[in-house]
Amino acid sequence: MTRVLIADDQRLVRTGFRLILELEDDMQIVGEAADGAECLRLAARQQPDVVLMDIRMPVLDGIAATRELTAPGSAVRVLILTTFDADEYVYDALRAGATGFLLKDAPSEQLVAAIRQVAAGDALLAPSITRRLIERYAGRADTVASSVVDALTDREREVWRLLARGLSNAEIASRLYVGETTVKTHVARVLAKLGVRDRVQAVVAAYESGFVRPGA
């Protein structure tokens, strides 16, 4: 059973997500928060597996709340909810430790699939949205040290490049003519060498470092 906490300052939005998720046998809503501070209090008490996090909230915004929730040692996964064009801080939320992001107007089946995906330990990388996001915000943060990039093997750099383009493990395996298990091993090594939490932050690091360039 996946325990889900919904954090959004709009009651109508929270209610809509609750109605969708309550139809799923493998999901349980453990709380609703109208601001980031309330989200942290509920998360500490209810121990959710996944937090659906709005960015723009009073008292404490979603970025600060995400940073607290994903501190080292935490197993909570944060899925950012955004209208994208209106939210200028999605990139900052990903750097704060969010596992991925989802448009608020996404179909219900996409919301359910996204929660299952991040609960299983995968990052949510929608290639088209990721590309737009990175093109808008790439270059704003510190770059990954060149020595770290140099420490990657040729195959690890190849896997990282494809990962940064939004390809899944299965798609990378098909592209490189190797098994999916082999790709998972390479991805794990890339994340460890880069010192990042998950695939989303590996994508961010790829663009920040200039290893992959928007539109290339």
In a domain, 54, yes or no: yes
Is pLDDT at 216 greater than 70 in this prediction? Answer: no
In a domain, 213, yes or no: no
State whether 24 and 65 are in the same domain.
yes
In a domain, 132, yes or no: no
9 or 124: which leads in pLDDT: 9
C-alpha 203/C-alpha 216 separation (Å) is 14
CATH code of the domain in which 150 resides: 1.10.10.10
In a domain, 71, yes or no: yes
State whether 100 and 6 are in the same domain.
yes
State whether 32 and 110 are in the same domain.
yes
104 or 143: which leads in pLDDT: 104
How confident is the model at residue 211, as a pLDDT? 82
State whether 44 and 120 are in the same domain.
yes
In a domain, 44, yes or no: yes
The 10s digit of each residue's pLDDT in 80-93 is: 887 765 556 767 77
The 10s digit of each residue's pLDDT in 96-108 is: 888 888 888 888 9
In a domain, 139, yes or no: no
How confident is the model at residue 57, as a pLDDT? 92
E-only strand ranges, the chain: 2-7, 27-33, 50-54, 77-82, 100-103
- Per the structure, the count of domains in the chain is 2
CATH code of the domain in which 56 resides: 3.40.50.2300
Residue 148 — φ and ψ, nearest 5°? -70, -45
In a domain, 151, yes or no: yes
Which residues form the domain of 82?
A: 2-124
